[in-house]
Structure 1
Amino acid sequence: MNHNQPEIITADEKPSGKSYLLPFILVISLFFLWGMAHNLDSILIPHLKKACNLNNRQSTLIDTSVFFAYFLMAIPAGMILKRFGYKASMITGLLVFASGAFLFVPAANSLSYITFLIALFIIGCGLTILETSANPYAAVLGDPAKATSRLNLAASFNGLAAMIAPLVGSLFILSGKSHTKEQLTAMTETTRSAYFLEEASSVKMPYIILGLVLVTIAVIFYFSRLPEIKTQSIDGEAKGSFFGALRHKHLRWAVVAQFFYVGAQVCVTSFFIRMAQQGGGFDEKTAAYYLAIYGFLFTAGRFAGTALMQFICSHKLLAIYAAISVLLCCVAIFGQGSYVVYALGAIGFFMSIMFPTIFGLGIEGIGDDTKPGSSWLIMSIVGGAILPYGMGTLIDMYGDNIQIGYSIPLVCFLIILFFGVKGYKIAHK
């Protein structure tokens, strides 16, 4: 038997849970890997801000490069998924992701911020293909009634990466060195260039290792026999159209909610280290450890949320968590001292369930439109490209005041609250 030949299973068949175990474990590894990529961005923003001598707005182009790729690649990723299936899509995503990681080497060697941005855009393209295929695959890989819980369980390992990535960044990327503009100006050109190059070069080894891991996982996927689950209509042929999927009102609201959720999450993490330095008075490496604590709380929130969903409807839990996040944003904006940083850490706990829950609620009951609907939800990740840029601009406008920037995530959580209260409802014809 050819082990590369996928097993075709329709959505109404119910194979044993054991047959889904290995595929689900492999999918979980993808959630962890793209979690590493996203959470290393939170390290790259303050790090490349130093290495490339950037302002806040320029530094957020790191987020823009990654998340704008989601917008541009969502339709092609959906087409790849529809044409070649889940397994081929996931392998393609891994290899594109790896190529972007390897491009960090010439970017660091040439100290070229543009090359870094191109590398991050390529990584974003790979992540888009991965998420377009892995999210719905995790959702349909088992009992439909437990799709949202399954997504939250898989996404818990994405949260695990939120804890590990800052530790990796603190140990291998961040130097702990920081110079004011006056100190940089006082340096000789040779000394200043050597400092910038040293800062940039520290990213090379972590991203080389990440690229090698991605290639290895792609090879494992290639030689694994994964079930290719098909959604079928009455006549037995899989259907669904990209724009037709938007006839589902709750999917439209899910796309809006996901746009603002991703924007909020990226805003919170992108400026976390700067907030910890400015608001809490911590040095760079200590700030990174607090970001790791944020990641721990994010991970704990995923597991706790998965457990709570056994007793509380997912939309109700989403609304409760969004309301608490609004209050915590108020503390971050108007508070003083290190507890402002603690409020941001707590936001990590309450944000944790939002992406998979919005995703699960958005594709609930849309049948043949699940794959194109997933593409829309992945496209909405472009919020991570737009809102942090706005936040960086706002911070620069107010004289590098990081706290005022957190008014943007506050508005985002209000919109998510609306989705959890009303927008999630399926319109019955």
Structure 2
Amino acid sequence: MPSLGSSTNTPASVAQEPGVRYGPALSLLASLFFMWGFITVINNTLLPHLRSVFELNYTQTTLIESVWFIAYFVASIPSAKLIEKVGYKKSLVIGLLTMAAGALGMMLAATIPSYGVTLVMLFVIASGITLLQVAANPYVAVCGKPETASSRLNLVQAMNSAGTMLAPMFGAYLILGRSKGGTAEAGTVLTQAERMADAQSVILPYALVAGVLVILAVVIAKFPLPSMQSQNEGAKEKRSRIINPELFKHRNLVFGIPAIFIYLIAEIGVGNLFINFVSRPDIGNMSLEQAGHYLTFLWGGMMVGRFVGSAIMQRFDAAHVLAVFAIGAFITMIVTTFSSGHTAMWALILVGLFHSIMFPTIFTLGIKGLGPLTEEASGLLVMAIAGGALVFVQGWIADSYDLQTSFLLTAACELYVLFYALWGSKPTHAEPDVVAEAAPAE
């Protein structure tokens, strides 16, 4: 049995009084998961759109997404420090308003149009999402019994998947469906005037997104969220360091950071290249707009998988469930790589089902037993989302060899997740878990 650590590490109290309910807070937080999933997956339709507007190759296209995920690396530790200074509730509001500012900036980028401004504004939006991730993921994990943390986080992540499922339809209709490049047959060459006109199609969708984010920020600001505070007296001194060396005594965190990093390469690579892959004549033989609608099935599978995974993990060990899903993901990626036509297309769609539980489960396994170190550990795990920035490697493989061959990189990523599930996730030096208090936040 793992050590419980130093005797100075005392857990925060969990309110078990009659009438204490976390349901309303979790429901509101689920809306945040929905929005950042929605905005992230708009990129899946934005990238083929920008590839057409700016005449980019696969490497250049995936580099756009790299900028998005570099924000996770840059903003994660500052986000954790901001949360410690102003609290979870104010941090959520700041994150939403930051995202809204970036969405408004995307309208400016489309008006110019400017590739450089587009990159900057995507970085701003991703920085806001990073703050939400650092705050909301551990908050949900501790809003209830520690033993059901993985189940609870998978449940609210299902709302994230609902956002990712609806975003392709939104993007296909309002971005690809309203542009010449999105509705033209594969191989059609656009004129300069057509490409510049296509750039304007992102103005309306990002205006709608900015409005919703501002409304949600106002609702969060007025909602009495339960506070999450550690009662550990030594935590303040530990958190004054940039990175606490105590963190690296925990095997589940040490191997969990690269697990998140590597998993994101797989998830983002599939999402970003899905439309271009499915639209190929030897796979789905359809327009980019039509392929965008099939992307809904990929993210819909993630939503279904999270609901199912949440229920399964009420009865079975989370690490064992993760191992089964990793094996399923590996098999589907091998089929995608070495088959053709609709077999390859539906295998790629099916990987969404197996990817569904990976991020929330790795996250909760990674912070398990971290006690008062949970906030810092959360920042490191969210920083590992920067692994999505390496999706350009898959773009390079697609340019150098073949788009279909590039999915072997995804298959390799699934094997590391399997290793983490079977061995790397086992806690060492476990400490009492941080929990949420029932008192309303200021």
What's the TM-score once normalised by structure 2's chain length?
0.89
Indicate the residue corresponding to 1:229 in structure 2. Answer: 228
Indicate the residue corresponding to 1:54 in structure 2. Answer: 56
CA–CA separation in structure 2 for the residues paired with 1:83 and 1:57: 39
Superposition deviation, residue 177 in structure 1: 2.9
Is 1:280–1:340's contact at 8 Å kept on the other side of the alignment?
no
With 371-380 and 138-147 compared, the bigger mean Cα shift is at 138-147
CA–CA separation in structure 1 for the residues paired with 2:394 and 2:234: 50
One-letter code of the match for 1:385? A
One-letter code of the match for 2:384? S
Listed as ranges, the matches of 1:275-424 within 5 Å are: 275-278=277-280, 279-386=283-390, 388-398=391-401, 401-424=402-425
Superposition deviation, residue 194 in structure 1: 2.3
Provide closer, same or farther for how the CA distance between residues 236 and 425 of structure 1 changes in structure 2, counting only shifts above 3 A: closer
Indicate the residue corresponding to 1:219 in structure 2. Answer: 218
Indicate the residue corresponding to 1:5 in structure 2. Answer: none
CA–CA separation in structure 1 for the residues paired with 2:185 and 2:194: 10
Superposition deviation, residue 308 in structure 1: 0.9
CA–CA separation in structure 1 for the residues paired with 2:410 and 2:18: 42
CA–CA separation in structure 2 for the residues paired with 1:121 and 1:234: 37
CA–CA separation in structure 2 for the residues paired with 1:236 and 1:127: 26
Provide closer, same or farther for how the CA distance between residues 179 and 383 of structure 1 changes in structure 2, counting only shifts above 3 A: same
One-letter code of the match for 1:152? N
CA–CA separation in structure 1 for the residues paired with 2:97 and 2:19: 29
CA–CA separation in structure 1 for the residues paired with 2:16 and 2:266: 38
CA–CA separation in structure 2 for the residues paired with 1:63 and 1:15: 46
Provide closer, same or farther for how the CA distance between residues 183 and 366 of structure 1 changes in structure 2, counting only shifts above 3 A: closer
1:69-118 CA-to-partner distances (Å, cap 9, x unmatched) read 00000110010011111101111110111111111111111121111111
CA–CA separation in structure 2 for the residues paired with 1:318 and 1:267: 20
Superposition deviation, residue 232 in structure 1: 2.2
Is 1:238–1:368's contact at 8 Å kept on the other side of the alignment?
no
Listed as ranges, the matches of 1:73-92 within 5 Å are: 73-92=75-94
Indicate the residue corresponding to 2:264 in structure 1. Answer: 262
SS of match in other structure, 1:393? helix
SS of match in other structure, 1:365? coil
Indicate the residue corresponding to 1:272 in structure 2. Answer: 274
Superposition deviation, residue 396 in structure 1: 0.8
CA–CA separation in structure 2 for the residues paired with 1:231 and 1:171: 46
1:256-292 CA-to-partner distances (Å, cap 9, x unmatched) read 1000111110001000001101122122122111100
Q: How many residues align?
A: 411
CA–CA separation in structure 2 for the residues paired with 1:237 and 1:61: 39
Is 2:238–2:244's contact at 8 Å kept on the other side of the alignment?
no
CA–CA separation in structure 1 for the residues paired with 2:160 and 2:216: 16
Is 2:363–2:381's contact at 8 Å kept on the other side of the alignment?
yes
Is 1:362–1:424's contact at 8 Å kept on the other side of the alignment?
yes
CA–CA separation in structure 2 for the residues paired with 1:377 and 1:63: 19
CA–CA separation in structure 2 for the residues paired with 1:366 and 1:235: 14
Is 2:264–2:387's contact at 8 Å kept on the other side of the alignment?
yes
1:221-263 CA-to-partner distances (Å, cap 9, x unmatched) read 1111111111222679685553332221110111010001111
Indicate the residue corresponding to 2:166 in structure 1. Answer: 164
Provide closer, same or farther for how the CA distance between residues 178 and 137 of structure 1 changes in structure 2, counting only shifts above 3 A: same
Does residue 247 (structure 1) correspond to residue 249 (structure 2)? The answer is yes
One-letter code of the match for 1:223? K
One-letter code of the match for 1:225? P
Identity, % of aligned positions? 36
CA–CA separation in structure 1 for the residues paired with 2:111 and 2:351: 37
1:306-334 CA-to-partner distances (Å, cap 9, x unmatched) read 11112221100101100111111111111
Q: Which runs of 5+ in 1 are unaligned?
A: 1-8, 185-191
CA–CA separation in structure 2 for the residues paired with 1:330 and 1:405: 11
Provide closer, same or farther for how the CA distance between residues 91 and 370 of structure 1 changes in structure 2, counting only shifts above 3 A: same
CA–CA separation in structure 2 for the residues paired with 1:181 and 1:339: 23
Superposition deviation, residue 407 in structure 1: 1.1
CA–CA separation in structure 2 for the residues paired with 1:221 and 1:77: 18
1:328-377 CA-to-partner distances (Å, cap 9, x unmatched) read 11111111111111001110001000000000000011101100000000
Is 1:35–1:162's contact at 8 Å kept on the other side of the alignment?
yes
CA–CA separation in structure 1 for the residues paired with 2:258 and 2:234: 33
CA–CA separation in structure 1 for the residues paired with 2:45 and 2:342: 20
Indicate the residue corresponding to 1:63 in structure 2. Answer: 65
RMSD: 1.8
Does residue 43 (structure 1) correspond to residue 45 (structure 2)? The answer is yes
Runs of 4+ that moved beyond 4 A:
15-18, 179-182, 234-241
CA–CA separation in structure 2 for the residues paired with 1:204 and 1:157: 26
CA–CA separation in structure 2 for the residues paired with 1:16 and 1:214: 34
Is 1:14–1:143's contact at 8 Å kept on the other side of the alignment?
no
CA–CA separation in structure 2 for the residues paired with 1:268 and 1:198: 28
SS of match in other structure, 2:223? coil
One-letter code of the match for 2:110? A
1:382-423 CA-to-partner distances (Å, cap 9, x unmatched) read 10011x10010111112xx21011011111111000000000
Indicate the residue corresponding to 1:4 in structure 2. Answer: none
The one of 167, 175, 184 aligned to 1:178: 184
One-letter code of the match for 1:61? L
